[in-house]
Chains A and B, each alone.
Chain A
Amino acid sequence: EDQVTQSPEALRLQEGESSSLNCSYTVSGLRGLFWYRQDPGKGPEFLFTLYSAGEEKEKERLKATLTKKESFLHITAPKPEDSATYLCAVHSGAGSYQLTFGKGTKLSVIP
């Protein structure tokens, strides 16, 4: 059974204080790892897809990296508008098209 564990559950940062969020996964044949951002009362918004170890993707202040067992979402010099819950999900060959999601990391960036 695919498993996704995200840490920490919550993270408070001062504006400009860089940090990383972790996503550890156990799957039978990774077909893709996904990062989503979710604002309160909204549906998740797609950020990145990573397919193989060593791959990196960047978007503004965010950079996602992937190893064989985990992924990191690095946030450089965050701003208050980066405050949200960040979700990690995996797609494996075991299921059809379903994604297995972690419980998320709630990020708060304080001005």
Chain B
Amino acid sequence: GAGVSQSPSNKVTEKGKDVELRCDPISGHTALYWYRQSLGQGLEFLIYFQGNSAPDKSGLPSDRFSAERTGGSVSTLTIQRTQQEDSAVYLCASSLTRSELFFGEGSRLTVL
């Protein structure tokens, strides 16, 4: 497809389990971002990848969160030992410039 693809679209898990969220960016986009959108809150920056440079992890809320980007394309966000406060929509975006970010439809995570 032409847009940013995220999977799964919905994930329900039990507290304490690990989850992996996947993002397939637009082909050729060198920049990739993960944001989190909680109910009633603004989008919260998590992590940024640019080409082969070291990622900017300054937004990750705890060491239970990690992300990798393989081959400069697909990215996986991993949350270990999930907590109820991790419930949110996780949005991935890619871009060629800082100006226009193209977002996927998000992965809705519910931690019971």
Contact = CB atoms under 8 A, between A and B. Distances in A.
Interface of A: 4, 31-32, 34, 41-46, 49, 87, 89, 91, 95-104
B9 to A, nearest CB: 9
A46 B106 contact: no
B42 A101 contact: yes
Given A32-B98, A34-B99, A96-B56, A43 B45 contact: no
A99 to B, nearest CB: 7
Contacts of A34: 99
A45 B45 contact: no
Contacts of A89: 43
Given A95-B58, A96-B56, A44 B103 contact: yes
Given A34-B99, A43-B93, A98-B48, 4 more contacts: A43-B104, A46-B102, A98-B33, A99-B101
Interface of B: 4, 31, 33, 35, 40-45, 48, 50, 56, 58-59, 91, 93, 98-106
A108 B17 CA distance: 39
A98 B56 contact: yes
B4 to A, nearest CB: 7
A98 B105 contact: no
A45 B93 CA distance: 10
B102 A97 contact: no
B40 A97 contact: no
B45 A99 contact: yes
Contact of A97 (B50, B100, B105): B50
Contacts of A100: 42, 45
Contacts of A44: 43, 91, 101, 103
Contacts of A43: 4, 91, 93, 103-106
A104 B42 contact: yes
A101 B100 CA distance: 14
B38 to A, nearest CB: 10
A86 to B, nearest CB: 12
A58 B92 CA distance: 27
Contacts of A98: 33, 45, 48, 56, 58-59
